[in-house]
Chains A and B, each alone.
Chain A
Amino acid sequence: MSVTEPTSRSETGVGPMFDAEEESLARKQRVEAVAKWLLPIAVLSLAIWYWDRLVVWNDIPHYILPGPGRVMQTLIQDWGTLSQSLLVTLQITLMALAVAIIGGVGLAVLFAQSRLAEMSFSPFAVILQVTPIVAIAPLIFIYIESRMVGLLLCAWIVAFFPILANTTLGLKSADHNLRDLMLIYKANRWQRLRYLQLPSALPYFLGGLRIAGGLALIGAVVAEYVAGTGGIGSGLAFRILEAGYRLNIPRMFAALLLIALTGVIIFAITTAISHFALRKWHESALKRE
């Protein structure tokens, strides 16, 4: 037993330390665990503080560059209008993402089932993907009367491709021996999809989802810029445009801050979903010992 003891202790990380080397290793691990959180927060705080000082030291007027305090103040003051706009942008983003998931996964499954379908439709998907959304959007707003549907369509076009491309790749990369096994046990098409291809594609799909979440927000914001002033029910991009015309720079910053925060939250949520869906089995979510 004395031979196996040291390994079992170093694996669990508990027990008394005998060695200076072991001790320094443990200290290093503790420091790293704290630094993982502390470091980004400290650097971000420092950057904000420097931004504030820059404004104060150089006496920059707020209509050129507002300080962080002023931006926060505006955010609170204008919360009524800004929160309404945030809801609109968020609604378009989430709806576009939902439709992108349904469309992307649906098309990917269709492609995996039928080579002919893939050959026929994948050029359309690529054309939609490579054409900049700002170039298509004006046409969409000419042909589609409902502003909401137009925005949704723009955001969808941007968001659906990573889901389609990743899921298609995932469906095709099922283990070939498992495929043979499915053949030997005479699994039908639906069983093969459900028990083999879809689980194999899950990590790929989730990777696509993380990209698509951010892109849906970008699509929604860009489309709103193109759509221009729309009166009631306008999103954050419209607020930025409007504030720009009025030289209300602090509000531009406040709206920008909200967009950035939304993006970060969407990324965090999709990352969390990915982690929880894969933590039991996939390499990407496992901690190595």
Chain B
Amino acid sequence: MTAHDRIIPPLHQRKPVLSMQAVDKTFNGGVVALRRMSLTVNEGDFISLLGPSGCGKSTALRLIAGLMRPTVGRITWEGGRGTDDLGVVFQEPTLMPWSTVAKNVWLPFRLRGKSFATVRDRIEEVLALVGLDKFANSYPRELSGGMKMRVSIARALVTNPRLILMDEPFAALDEITRQKLNDDLLNLKARTGATVIFVTHSVFESVFLSDRILVMAARPGRVIREIAVDAPYPRGIAWRTSPDYARIARETSDTLMSTLAPGESH
């Protein structure tokens, strides 16, 4: 831990950022993507939405991002949603190939009408945070998959948003890069105090990263259980190999398996 780390209060003492109240999402064909999801996101939370495909975890993220409207129920931001309140990282890096790394990170500011010169320092700072300060003038095609993802994370962080949504950001990366990025993500979170909702289908990733795991089930998509991971940050290799980690991973895995229909489990 460094001197710059933000102190995040324990789970039950955090101030709310956003709440979902009994949210339903039904698609045109009558498919229920999400049923009665309620969730209060608190400042400093690292929440994982964990479940098999079709459990509505990406739908939940799109609802929170405001890309869709709930069919029933409501999503409210504490004190309203400001323009810089949300950062998003998709499964693909989603960079503009015609712009350099720095110009890509500039995008959220650019859309607020801020010139590059006025936010240059902030862009350099956030690029240094993800370890890409030397690549500011590179084009995305010159970077590896993991580095592109870091640019995407830097872009999500640059406005200091109240909430960062991550939709299986490391799913397409190899295991080694993925572990490295998981470690770095926790360091970033410790230093920025960011609130994160992280969608994943990996039990181990969710237990390693988050302090709250929402286990979801499919058909219809719903939350079946919340598991608290009460291990202190920073977490590293010691946490990954601890008995507590193994126990919670086992518990989470069992919960996940219980949601699958008999024919689907192995």
The digit string for B130-148, where 1 denotes a CB below 8 A from any CB of A, is: 0000000001110000000
Q: A281-B139, A281-B141, A286-B141 are in contact. Are A184 and B96 (CB under 8 A)?
A: no
A180 x B98 contact (CB < 8 A): no
Which A residues form the contact surface with B (CB < 8 A)? 175, 177-178, 180-187, 191, 195-196, 199, 202, 280-282, 286
B107 x A184 contact (CB < 8 A): no
> CB of B75 within 8 A of chain A?
no
A177 x B107 contact (CB < 8 A): no
What separation, in Å, do the CA atoms of A186 and B111 have in the docked complex?
8
B107 x A185 contact (CB < 8 A): yes
What separation, in Å, do the CA atoms of A280 and B92 have in the docked complex?
21
A interface, over-half SS: helix
B98 proximity list for chain A (CB < 8 A)? 199, 202, 280-282
A184 x B65 contact (CB < 8 A): yes
B111 x A191 contact (CB < 8 A): yes
A187 x B97 contact (CB < 8 A): no
Contact of B67 among A184, A191, A195 (CB under 8 A): A184
Which B residues form the contact surface with A (CB < 8 A)? 65-67, 83, 86, 88, 90, 92, 94, 96-99, 107-108, 110-111, 139-141
B66 x A184 contact (CB < 8 A): yes
Name A183's closest neighbour in chain B (CB-CB).
Answer: B67
What separation, in Å, do the CA atoms of A186 and B66 have in the docked complex?
10
What separation, in Å, do the CA atoms of A180 and B94 have in the docked complex?
10
B interface, over-half SS: loop
What separation, in Å, do the CA atoms of A202 and B90 have in the docked complex?
24
What separation, in Å, do the CA atoms of A282 and B108 have in the docked complex?
23
B139 x A195 contact (CB < 8 A): no
What separation, in Å, do the CA atoms of A161 and B108 have in the docked complex?
36
Contact of B94 among A181, A187, A202, A286 (CB under 8 A): A181
B67 x A280 contact (CB < 8 A): no
Contact of B139 among A175, A178, A182, A280 (CB under 8 A): A280
**Can you list 6 residue pairs at the A/B interface with Cβ under 8 Å?**
A177-B92, A180-B67, A181-B90, A181-B107, A183-B66, A286-B141
What separation, in Å, do the CA atoms of A84 and B110 have in the docked complex?
50
What separation, in Å, do the CA atoms of A195 and B107 have in the docked complex?
9
B86 x A184 contact (CB < 8 A): yes
Name B90's closest neighbour in chain A (CB-CB).
Answer: A177
What separation, in Å, do the CA atoms of A141 and B48 have in the docked complex?
71
B96 proximity list for chain A (CB < 8 A)? 178, 195-196, 199
What separation, in Å, do the CA atoms of A113 and B115 have in the docked complex?
26
B90 proximity list for chain A (CB < 8 A)? 177, 180-181
A178 x B94 contact (CB < 8 A): yes
What separation, in Å, do the CA atoms of A177 and B110 have in the docked complex?
18
What separation, in Å, do the CA atoms of A191 and B128 have in the docked complex?
28
Instruction: List 5 extra interface pairs beyond A180-B88, A184-B65, A195-B110, CB under 8 A.
Output: A178-B94, A180-B90, A184-B67, A281-B97, A281-B140
Name B159's closest neighbour in chain A (CB-CB).
Answer: A185
B141 x A184 contact (CB < 8 A): no
What separation, in Å, do the CA atoms of A177 and B66 have in the docked complex?
14
What separation, in Å, do the CA atoms of A184 and B111 have in the docked complex?
11
A177 x B94 contact (CB < 8 A): yes
What separation, in Å, do the CA atoms of A183 and B107 have in the docked complex?
13
Q: Which of A177, A185, A195, A280 has the most CB of B within 10 A?
A: A185
Q: A196-B96, A202-B98 are in contact. Are A187 and B141 (CB under 8 A)?
A: no
CB of A258 to closest CB in B, whole Å? 38
Name B155's closest neighbour in chain A (CB-CB).
Answer: A181
B92 proximity list for chain A (CB < 8 A)? 177
